[in-house]
Amino acid sequence: MTDMPPVCDYEGSDYRTRFWEGQQRGYEDQAERVALRRLLPPSGHTLIEIGAGFGRLADEYLGYETVVLFDYSRSLLREAQAALGDDPRFLYVAGNWYQMPFVSGLFDAMVQIRTLHHAADVPALFAQLARIARPGGQYVLEFANKQNLKAMVRYGLRRQSWSPFTPEPVEFVELNFDFHPRWIRQQLQQARFSPGRTLTVSYFRVGALKRLLPTGLLVGLDSVVQYSSWLGQFSPSVFVLNAHPVTGETAVSGHFFACPTCQTPLPDADNGRLTCPNPACGHQWRVENGLYDFKEPIL
């Protein structure tokens, strides 16, 4: 636990109302949905969204039998739960992506959008995702691109100290990182993912354009230029579809959660608790009003 990378904590945050609702971000939301639909297989067995927040994109996953909304923030997950009601497809799981509370080889599909910029240790996160990925499945990753047009212009005018062209991540605000597409692909490959189809998204994320042009027109233009990644990736947001590692475990039917401390598969909840059967661990985790809480053990 002591060497755990720092976490950007959204507990109690007003992210939904401060950033999305009524904040003129219809263009970004719709452009991201276009990209997601182009990359994500429309149906399947088990999907996880990592850093799902308040469940903004949850309605994109209705073709899946089981959908895990995973986030560090219990309060945002409660907002998702309130919005989605009692749809039995959805599971709400609080935890830290550096210690995923799932058995190996579980998920057919994994989605991560607008969250990688909070990852101080990308290789550690990708190693966890490679472990819980089911061979043969797909992982849709969106990341904030440091090599974007605005950063290039600012760097050219000497209004920005860091270079958008060098591969290393840049932390422009504490626990907020932009990444170079080449560096991200290297990290994915080191974790045994196979990066493939790539879309460049949100080129028109400019206040004046959003004020002047109808959202539908901007989204239409975006959906065309999303295909231009072969010309170069200079958009603020990049989506990449990754094949899961081809070898690795496939989860045994009936096994789902694993202790985040020692990775031992957990038996079903009893009396609102999941108890690790490993005698050397024995941690207990709370299940309360439909929320599985792996942030810290009760015991």
Q: CB 157 → ligand SAM: shortest distance, Å?
A: 28
* Binding characters for ligand SAM, 120-159, by CB under 6 A (x = yes): ----------------------------------------
Stretch that binds ligand SAM, among 109-117, 203-211, 270-278, 287-295 (CB under 6 A): 109-117
Question: Which residue, 18 or 182, is less far from ligand SAM as judged by CB?
Answer: 18
SS (H, E, C) 209-220: HHHHCCHHHHHH
For the chain, list the strands marked E by DSSP: 44-50, 64-71, 90-94, 107-112, 133-144, 170-173, 176-178, 194-201, 237-243, 273-275, 284-288, 291-293
Residue 73 interacting with ligand SAM (CB under 6 A): yes
Residue 81 interacting with ligand SAM (CB under 6 A): no
Binding to ligand SAM (CB under 6 A) within 186-245 occurs at none
Q: CB 50 → ligand SAM: shortest distance, Å?
A: 7
With CB under 6 A as the contact rule, the residue among 74, 114, 197, 295 that binds ligand SAM is 114
**Within 10 Å of residue 196's Cβ, how many Cβ atoms?**
11
Taken as a whole, the chain contains a residue count of 299
With CB under 6 A as the contact rule, the residue among 27, 36, 44, 53 that binds ligand SAM is 53
Stretch that binds ligand SAM, among 49-57, 166-174, 224-232, 236-244 (CB under 6 A): 49-57
Question: Which residue, 5 or 282, is less far from ligand SAM as judged by CB?
Answer: 5
**Within 10 Å of residue 267's Cβ, how many Cβ atoms?**
13
- The two three-digit tokens of residue 18, written as one number: 């401060």
Question: Which residue, 121 or 213, is less far from ligand SAM as judged by CB?
Answer: 121
Strand pairing class (237-243; 133-144): antiparallel
Residue with the CB atom nearest ligand SAM in the bound state: 53
With CB under 6 A as the contact rule, the residue among 92, 97, 126, 294 that binds ligand SAM is 97
* DSSP reduced 3-state for 240: strand
Q: CB 4 → ligand SAM: shortest distance, Å?
A: 9
CA distance 139 to 47: 10
The secondary structure of 100-160 as a DSSP string is --B-TT-EEEEEE-S-GGG-S-HHHHHHHHHHHEEEEEEEEEEEEBSS-HHHHHHHHTT--
CA distance 60 to 113: 13
Residues lying near ligand SAM in the complex (CB under 6 A): 7-8, 10, 15, 51-53, 56, 71-73, 76, 96-97, 113-115, 118
